[in-house]
Structure 1
């Protein structure tokens, strides 16, 4: 029976998790990776009497005890989010394993990155924007709902976002929405009664920043389109055209970001900022944000920092 010190909860296709596992392997740590899309391949039994979970994968057996588990890396917490129709067996699989993952907070002596309760709380965009504003970070003027504020101008551009990750299926096609720039005239003609939206002022000539936070470390980069500021959502730009450059944040902005992370209970987060007229704006924080592209494309050691935090080797 292999006694596990570190548990990795992820999916089978996740490059960032691959990097974490590789780093743990280099450090000779006893870890186990459970992929949420592979549960049918596992045999899992949790014993309340022993506060221990037993896992069998192929012919290998593992035990994870609340008294000996040191760290849990909680990646991709939303369980196979999708609106596609599934048969009853698939619905049962998804709903019950999703609940099982949430129940792993029973391992309450381990260090979590991030703890599920904090992750689910921080994923609420209205709440994180409220916290950022109260801490003193600049936040774009924001409205959330299924009606427009009265002062919408037909001559002004606005940013429209979904309140939650919007992933849909139509005719076997996967559809995903990004932040979109919409002019006031289009908004005034639109029907938004069916679902709430996030409506923000549009920061027209802004510089995009991504700040990856791990513990008290901040890895800050600017993101440009071949050196030029990006109009709209930088995720829509071809990866071949994006240029990443390490930067230093003003001390007061860095301090406020760390304060926000502490208030949200997050050890890790991908923070998006925008700079316009030398003024820094908080856009959002993703508690399970992608970062593998930083370690591979910019040689920024996010993977090592995460494992340092997970293993208390800071």
Structure 2
């Protein structure tokens, strides 16, 4: 049995499930709004939610896509007992998650989110080229037009009150200084790029795509500012073997066997930007005819 942990709205999950069904594999999809009760039946751990039920030992492989396994905890009237039982239930839940992560898997719930600052430090130690970066709470030492600012975290979505005008924190070129200090932010040297590269990594294999985002002023600094009327040109691309080898060392150091990795090519240099363990790969699969969903299904 294959266990898939995902969010309800993830389209890539649906495509992988179609491939699993086509090759006759049994699967269970855990949604983000499920809560599991932990039981035992004839000395076997049994998990049951409002949608799914399975024995822990019948799971053979796990794909952690998004979300996570949520548990329904028992509650007691006695506060002292409640404190003790919460701790006991925590360790039981931890055992279940770690047991699932010991199976054949694509990433895990415990390493689904990486620290960008730590990743960049590891990347530099391994030998990947990384654009110069620093943290600052003002623009006193910023070189205007040659420095960008981006989120320290991943892809930040700012939800509006009415839910109809969500905002995104895009990478931006610094064009003017700020008079006041602000919260410590991530700044990086702006690289004049030939093109960007998105590479999907799965268990030692890279499938890469060149994205010609610099040809459009709208996507030049941040390709996520998609131009729907005139999309960027995307083509299959092969990273140099030396770059792939270093990127694989990075993924191994981060204990990741899958993820989306971003590079910038500038002249003869390949600059590493970041890795997202749960990054989107649908357009990479479709535009380059890589059929990544099939490859994920076959790995599982």
Q: Give the equivalent residue in structure 1 for 2:150.
A: 161
Matched ranges for 1:165-204 at <5 A: 165=154, 166-172=156-162, 173-183=165-175, 186=176, 188-189=177-178, 191-193=180-182, 195-204=183-192
In the TM superposition, residue 19 of structure 1 has moved relative to its aligned partner by 1.1
SS of the equivalent of 2:112 reads helix
Secondary structure, aligned partner of 2:4: strand
Cα 1:235–1:102 shift into 2, 3 Å: farther
Task: Give unpaired runs (5+ residues) of structure 1.
Answer: 80-99
Matched, 1:218 2:212: no
Among 110, 119, 122, the alignment partner of 2:103 is 110
The aligned counterpart of 1:95 is none
d(CA) in 1 for partners of 2:178 and 2:196? 30
Match of 2:221 among 232, 248, 253: 232
| Aligned equivalent of 2:55 | 64
Higher strand share: 1
Q: Is the 8 A contact 1:10 1:76 kept in 2?
A: yes
1:249 and 2:239 aligned: yes
RMSD of equivalent CA atoms: 2.9
CA 1:214 to 1:137, structure 2 compared with 1: closer, same or farther past 3 Å? same
Structure 2 residues not aligned, in runs of 5+? 70-92
Is the CA contact 2:200–2:260 (under 8 Å) kept in the aligned structure 1?
yes
In 2 relative to 1, CA 102–143 (structure 1 residues): closer, same or farther, beyond 3 Å?
Answer: farther
**Contact in 2 for aligned 1:226/1:241 (Cα 8 Å):** no
1:141 counterpart = 2:132: yes
- Count of residue pairs the alignment pairs up: 273
Contact 1:71–1:112 (CA<8 Å) still a contact in 2? yes
TM-score (norm 2): 0.81
| Contact kept? 1:105, 1:116, Cα under 8 Å | no
Deviation for aligned residue 1:56: 4.5
The 3 A distance-change label for structure 1 pair 147 and 225 is closer
Match of 1:271 in 2: 261
Superposition pairs for residues 2-151 of structure 1, below 5 Å? Answer: 5-36=1-32, 38-39=33-34, 44-47=36-39, 50-57=44-51, 62-65=53-56, 67-77=57-67, 104-120=97-113, 123-148=114-139, 151=141
